[in-house]
């Protein structure tokens, strides 16, 4: 990385995705070009990653590396990179055509027209950048065609006749299908993505381009696999590398990469916080993503690391808000999956259960048709692709997804709260709850927060239908006890040869004066059961908590924290007992 002209340290490219501009401006760049060589062994690739993981910047880098139009700037742009020291034979060889579908959100009757307009703009840009490869009559011939499919067929024919290989890049391929699904439902999404629908026909045209040999390479990115089976059935030769261990760290940052980047700014005096201290915070909030069961390590979310760094440089302190709004999942694309006809459905119960337990047994599916989204493993796989659950190392023979970090915890908790509100089941003053939980962390007053939730449940009878059973009640409490960043919230943490339901550990890096932590053991007693069962449940919870609190690991992990055990028993929907265990 080279310094900017006016400073002794590189600019932070937060919010930027133009590879050439980042390199020419001397901004921070974590070198990922080493992945070009193994990627070049594949001709047609599908690669899915969550939002804000650097997909667009990666495509920009491929365009700069392979593009004939970028050949004059190659040395300057790739100087000092891994691939720049030893380029492959594919360097600067291709007519690179790059489509970006991220803005493909329009009313149903305007979607096809919007698609054609977006493709026309990108195709015209490609031809203008490569006008030395095509005379003006050839360019006019391509652009004069009536649709993007006929324009591509004409382009492939001319390129093939002139021995000009084409490399096609598609960013956010799944946005058109997702937009239709979120706005209009499954039926509206079916027509463009099946039979002779315009979007399926587009991919069939790409398949025809590979048959003639003109379309030599293709790289497609997206956020979810929802459209993979439906849309790309017309283009069924792409290899899905999303779960390949070899490419686990192609996007996102490894811990050593994060440490090196932060060290650059700390050594230059531009950042007051030591890299080790910053990592302690970011490890909890931005790390934990793993995209293959056989991957050697987790990776950090690219956007969130750059956000933290940019905020730290500007204020000389860590960011006040640890979750960048830009990384939040567009809940509108998922909300409709959790309720039907004003009632929360099986997907909601599945999500709530996964949140309560902190993990779920599931082997991630590479693809699945939209009609099968309600299947358990498909829905959990979708949450993985969105970055809300991640592959978790598990005992031999098991495959698990787990909540990767505190950011995902907060997003999922908010998602659950939104779902309750969407069906009119439960509305609560989150500001007041956050205030009460802040006092839990700083003062040790735990009872007011629990009483606040209990009173809200009593006053809103509609939520009671969703609190029938221990796991359902556990999921509900998780959604609301995770409302504040004063605690690092986790479920099913192991202490004393058991797993505590909830652990509220003060977030010391963010709130150093918060010294009160809590282990909460939840019990549920059916409404038809009586005092004897309730007393037995609370006594069992207290016994478990004493064992958890005696675990030496608790003191070693948080020596400055005073932990209190809370034995909580629900009798149906009513908070019946709550006792502290020291």
Share of the chain above pLDDT 70, in %: 92
Burial class (CB in 10 A: 0-12, 13-18, 19+), 360: buried
Residue range 385-408, pLDDT digits in tens:
999 999 988 776 678 999 999 899
pLDDT, tens digit, 9 for 90 and up, residues 115-155 = 999 999 999 999 999 999 988 899 999 999 999 999 999 99
Q: What backbone torsions phi and psi does residue 239 show, to the nearest 5 degrees? A: -95, 125
pLDDT digits (tens, 9 = 90+) for 30-86: 999 999 999 999 999 999 999 889 999 999 999 999 999 999 999 999 999 999 999
Q: The tokens of 36 are what?
A: 């070009």
Residues belonging to the chain: 582
The pLDDT value given to residue 35:
98
Write out the DSSP string of 508-525: TTT-TT--EEEEEEEEEE
Helices (H), 172-286: 175-184, 186-193, 198-212, 228-231, 255-267, 275-285
**Can you tell me the mean pLDDT for 310-331?**
79
Give the model's pLDDT for residue 458.
Answer: 83
Above pLDDT 90, what percent of the chain?
A: 55
Question: Could you tell me if 4 and 177 are in contact, meaning their C-beta atoms sit under 8 angstroms apart?
Answer: no
* Whole-number pLDDT of residue 471: 76
pLDDT exceeds cutoff 50 at 185: yes
Q: pLDDT digits over 222-273, tens only?
A: 988 876 666 655 556 789 999 999 999 999 999 999 999 999 999 888 888 8
Q: Look at residue 4 in the predicted model and tell me its pLDDT.
A: 42
What's the average model confidence in pLDDT over 411-415?
Answer: 85
3-state SS of 35-64 is HHHHHCCCCEEEEECCCCCCHHHHHHHHHH
What kind of fold does domain 30-76+92-242 have according to CATH? Rossmann fold (3.40.50)
Inter-helix orientation angle 302-315/275-285, to 10°: 140
SS (HEC) of 389-456: CEEECCCCCCCEEECCCHHHHHHHHHHHHHHHHHCCCCCCCHHHHHHHHHHHHHCCCCHHHHHHHHHH
N-term to C-term CA, the chain: 53
Which of 297, 266, 308, 314 is closest to 407 using CA atoms?
Answer: 308
Nearest to residue 222, comparing CAs of 295, 287, 169, 167? 169
Residue 7, pLDDT above cutoff 60: no
Whether 435 has a pLDDT exceeding 70, the answer reads: yes
**Tokens 């990592």, located at residue:** 279
Instruction: Write down the pLDDT at residue 483.
Output: 86
Helix and strand numbers (H, E) in the chain are 24, 15
pLDDT at 318: 83
549-582 as b/e: b if 16+ CB within 10 A: bebeebeeebeebebbbbbbbbbebebbbbeebe
- The larger pLDDT score, comparing residue 540 to residue 194, is at 540
pTM of the model: 0.88
- Nearest-angstrom CA–CA distance, 75 and 84: 7
**513 and 561 Cβ atoms separated by less than 8 Å:** no
Considering only CA atoms, which of 327, 326, 332, 504 is closest in space to residue 418?
332
CA gap 91, 74 in Å, rounded: 9
pLDDT category at 341 given cuts 50, 70, 90 is low
Arithmetic mean of pLDDT, 351-380:
83
The three-class DSSP label of residue 506 is: strand
Per the prediction, the chain carries an average pLDDT of 88
Instruction: Please report the pLDDT score of residue 1 as a whole number.
Output: 43
Strand, helix or coil for residue 71: helix
pLDDT at 2: 40
Answer whether residue 330 shows pLDDT above 60.
no
Residue with the larger pLDDT of the pair 95 and 392: 95
Q: Measured on CA atoms in the order 187, 191, 193, 198, is the torsion positive or negative?
A: negative
Q: Token pair of 283, please? A: 């490890």
274, pLDDT greater than 60: yes
Q: How far apart are CA 229 and CA 155, in angstroms?
A: 27
CA distances (Å), 265 to each of 24, 27, 314, in order?
A: 19, 12, 12
Residue 389: the pLDDT is 94
pLDDT at 333: 58
Kindly tell me if the per-residue pLDDT of 457 is higher than 90: no
Whether residue 6 has pLDDT greater than 60: no
Look at 41-55, 91-105, 138-152, 414-428 and tell me which has the smallest mean pLDDT. Answer: 414-428
Q: Are 441 and 447 in contact (CB under 8 A)?
A: no
Distance CA 260, CA 269 (A): 15
Q: What is the pLDDT of residue 369?
A: 77
442 with 513: CB under 8 angstroms?
yes
Please give the residue that has the higher pLDDT: either 293 or 186. Answer: 293
Q: What is residue 534's predicted lDDT score, i.e. its pLDDT?
A: 93
DSSP 10: P
Give the pLDDT confidence of 470-512 residue by residue, as tens digits. Answer: 777 888 888 888 888 899 888 888 898 899 999 999 988 788 8
Q: What is the pLDDT of residues 278-318, one digit of tens each?
A: 998 999 999 999 999 999 999 999 999 999 999 998 777 88
Q: Where are the domains of the chain?
A: 30-76+92-242, 255-327, 425-582
Residue 3 in this model has a pLDDT that exceeds 60: no
Average pLDDT rounded to a whole number, residues 569-581:
90
pLDDT in tens, 509-553: 788 899 999 999 999 999 889 899 999 999 999 999 999 999 998
Name which residue leads in pLDDT, 270 or 349.
Answer: 270
**Could you tell me which residues come within 8 angstroms of residue 447 by beta carbon, excluding any fewer than 6 positions away?**
578
């Amino acid at each position: 990385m080279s310094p900017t002209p006016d400073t002794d340290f590189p600019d932070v490219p937060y919010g930027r995705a133009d590879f050439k501009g980042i390199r020419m401006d001397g901004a921070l760049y974590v070198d990922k070009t080493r992945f070009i060589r193994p990627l070049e062994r594949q001709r047609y690739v599908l690669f899915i990653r969550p939002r804000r993981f650097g997909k667009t910047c990666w495509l920009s880098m491929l365009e700069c590396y392979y593009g004939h139009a970028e050949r004059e700037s190659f040395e300057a742009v790739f100087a000092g990179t891994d691939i720049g020291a030893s380029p492959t034979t594919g360097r600067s060889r291709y007519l690179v055509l790059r489509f970006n579908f991220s803005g493909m959100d329009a009313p149903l009757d305007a979607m096809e027209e919007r698609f054609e307009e977006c493709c026309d703009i990108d195709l015209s840009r490609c031809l203008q950048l490569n006008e030395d490869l095509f005379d003006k009559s050839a360019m006019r011939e391509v652009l004069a065609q009536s649709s993007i499919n006929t324009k591509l067929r004409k382009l492939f024919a001319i390129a093939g006749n002139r021995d000009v290989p084409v490399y096609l890049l598609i960013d956010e391929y799944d946005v058109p299908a997702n937009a239709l699904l979120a706005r209009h439902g499954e039926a509206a999404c079916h027509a463009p993505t099946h039979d002779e629908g315009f979007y399926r026909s587009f991919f069939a045209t790409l398949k025809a381009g590979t048959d003639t040999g003109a379309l030599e390479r293709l790289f497609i990115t997206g956020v979810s696999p929802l459209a993979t089976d439906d849309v790309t059935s017309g283009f069924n030769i792409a290899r899905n590398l999303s779960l390949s261990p070899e490419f686990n760290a192609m996007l996102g940052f490894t811990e050593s990469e994060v440490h090196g980047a932060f060290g650059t700014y700390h050594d230059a005096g531009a950042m007051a916080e030591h890299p080790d201290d910053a990592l302690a915070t970011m490890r909890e909030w931005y790390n934990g993503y793993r995209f293959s069961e056989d991957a050697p390590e987790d990776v950090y979310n690219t956007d969130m690391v750059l956000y933290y760094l940019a905020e730290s440089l500007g204020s000389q302190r860590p960011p006040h808000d640890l979750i960048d709004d830009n990384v939040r999942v567009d809940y509108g694309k998922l909300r409709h999956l959790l309720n039907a006809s004003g009632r929360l459905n099986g997907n909601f119960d599945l999500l709530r259960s996964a949140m309560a337990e902190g993990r779920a047994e599931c082997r991630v599916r590479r693809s699945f048709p939209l009609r099968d989204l309600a299947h358990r493993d498909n829905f959990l796989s979708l949450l993985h692709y969105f970055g809300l659950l991640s592959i978790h190392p598990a005992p031999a023979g098991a495959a698990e997804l787990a909540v990767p970090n505190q950011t995902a915890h907060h997003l999922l908790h908010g998602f659950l709260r939104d779902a309750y509100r969407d069906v009119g089941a439960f509305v609560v003053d989150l500001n007041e709850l956050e205030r009460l939980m802040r006092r839990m962390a700083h003062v040790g007053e735990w009872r007011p927060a629990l009483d606040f939730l209990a009173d809200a449940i009593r006053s809103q009878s509609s939520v009671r239908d969703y609190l029938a059973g221990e796991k359902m009640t556990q999921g509900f409490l998780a959604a609301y006890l995770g409302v504040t960043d004063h605690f690092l919230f986790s479920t099913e943490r192991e202490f004393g040869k058991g797993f505590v339901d909830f652990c509220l550990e003060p977030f010391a890096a963010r709130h150093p004066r918060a010294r009160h932590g809590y282990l909460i053991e939840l019990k549920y007693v059916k409404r038809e059961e009586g005092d004897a069962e309730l007393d037995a449940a609370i006594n069992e919870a207290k016994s478990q908590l004493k064992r958890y609190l005696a675990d030496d690991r608790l003191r070693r992990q948080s020596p400055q924290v005073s932990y209190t055990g809370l034995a909580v028993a629900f009798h149906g929907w009513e908070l019946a007992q709550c006792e502290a265990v020291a």
